[in-house]
Amino acid sequence: MNQHLLISPRVREAMEQNKPIIALESTIISHGMPYPQNVETALACERTAREHGAEPATIAVLGGKLCAGLTHEQIEYLGKAGTKMIKASRRDLPMLVSKGMDGATTVAATMIIAHMAGIKVFATGGIGGVHRGAEQSMDISADLEEMAMTPVTVVCAGAKSILDLGLTLEYLETKGVPVVGYQTDVLPAFYTNASSFQVPLRADTPAEIAGMIKAQLDMQYPGAMLVTNPIPQEYAMPADVIDPAIEQALKEAQAQGIAGKEVTPYLLAKVVELTGGNSLKANIQLVFNNVRLAARIAAALS
C-alpha cells in the first residue's frame, strides 16, 4: 500500500465487500462554485452516488496525505477555503506530500489518486482541455495528458465550453484516448448540447460502457476512457445565451492578464455573473447527472 495514500473507512469497507465505488474531485468544491453551494453540491453528489448503488470517494490532499474519501467536515473545510486552497494537479502532488500541505485535486490529480486506490470510475463536471488561442499560449490542460497515461474512466459533460472543443477532441485522438458519447453522437459542450463536433464512439447503456472499460483494462491499455454525458435538456442553456457570456469572460480575462491555472476558475465565476447565476444552476445539474451515470457504470463493471 502506498504510504502516502489514506483511504477512508467507508471506502475501504466498500472495497472489502467488492461494492461499486466512484471517485469525485475536490477542485469543484474549492474553485468550481461559491460557498455554500459548493459544499451542498459535494454532499448531494455523495448522496446521489449512494442512491444509485456506488460508494463515493471524494478525493483531496490533506495534511500531505492523498485522501480517497472525505468526511463532511473535510468537505466543509475545502468549501470554506475556496480559491485560497491550492489547486493541485499532477505537478503539485510531490510538493504537497513532502511539505504536509493541503490541496484540492483537479481531474488529473484525482485520476492519479483514484488509480492508486484501485478506483476505476470517476465523475466530474467537465474536463480541462485545449484553451482557445492555444496555438500562441500552448495552454493545454494536464487533464488530457493524464488521460493518455492513467487507466481511470472519466464521466463528464464534455470539455468546458470555455475551451476549444475541436482542438481538445483532436488532442485526445492523438493521445489515443477513447471518447464515448453516452446516448449521443455529438460532443456535449458542458452547459449546452449544441456542439458541432462528432464523438468517435457511442454507447447507449451503462453496461455497454462497462464492457468497453473491461476490454480496455484486459488489453492493458495505458490510458483512460472518456465518457461524455449530455446535460439533461431541461437544464441546458441556449447557445445564444451562454456563448456571448463566454466570449465576454474571455476578453476580460485577457485584458486582466489572467493566465495558467487561474484562467478556468475566473472564467467560470465570470460566466456565472454574466448569466445571472443560471450557468451555476446548469453546472450543478450536469454534475449530478454525471454522478448518476458513473454510479451505474461502476455497478455494471463490478
Instruction: Return the half-sphere exposure (C-beta side, CA atoms, 13 A cut-off) of residue 86.
Output: 20
State whether residue 6 is helix, strand or coil.
Answer: strand
25 is catalytic: yes
Which residues of the chain are under the pLDDT cut of 50?
Answer: none
pLDDT in tens, 10-62: 999 999 999 999 999 999 999 988 899 999 999 999 999 999 999 999 999 99
pLDDT of residue 253: 80
160 is catalytic: yes
User: pTM of the entire structure?
Assistant: 0.92
Amino acid 242: pLDDT: 81
CA dist., res. 267 & res. 12, Å (int): 37
Q: Would you put residue 183 in left (φ > 0), alpha (ψ -120 to 50) or beta?
A: left
Q: What does the chain come to in residues?
A: 302
Q: Phi/psi zone of residue 187: left (φ > 0), alpha (ψ -120 to 50 degrees), beta?
A: beta
Grid coordinates representing 180 are: 464515448
pLDDT at 284: 92
pLDDT for 79: 97
Instruction: Tell me the C-alpha to C-alpha distance, in Å, between residue 263 and each of 8, 15, 137.
Output: 32, 37, 12
Domain ranges in the chain?
A: 5-301
Query: Quick one: pLDDT at residue 1?
Result: 54
Kindly report the backbone phi and psi dihedral angles of residue 182, in degrees, each rounded to the nearest multiple of 5, phi listed first: -85, 110
Residue located via cell numbers 457570456? 245
From the list 87, 120, 160, 270, the catalytic residue is 160
Query: Domain 5-301, what fold?
Result: Indigoidine synthase fold (3.40.1790)
Helical axes 278-301 vs 206-218, angle rounded to 10°: 60
Distance (Å, rounded) from C-alpha 180 to C-alpha 172? Answer: 12
pLDDT at 134: 67
| CB distance 153 to 162 below 8 Å | no
Spatial neighbors of 281 by CB under 8 A, at least 6 apart, are 235
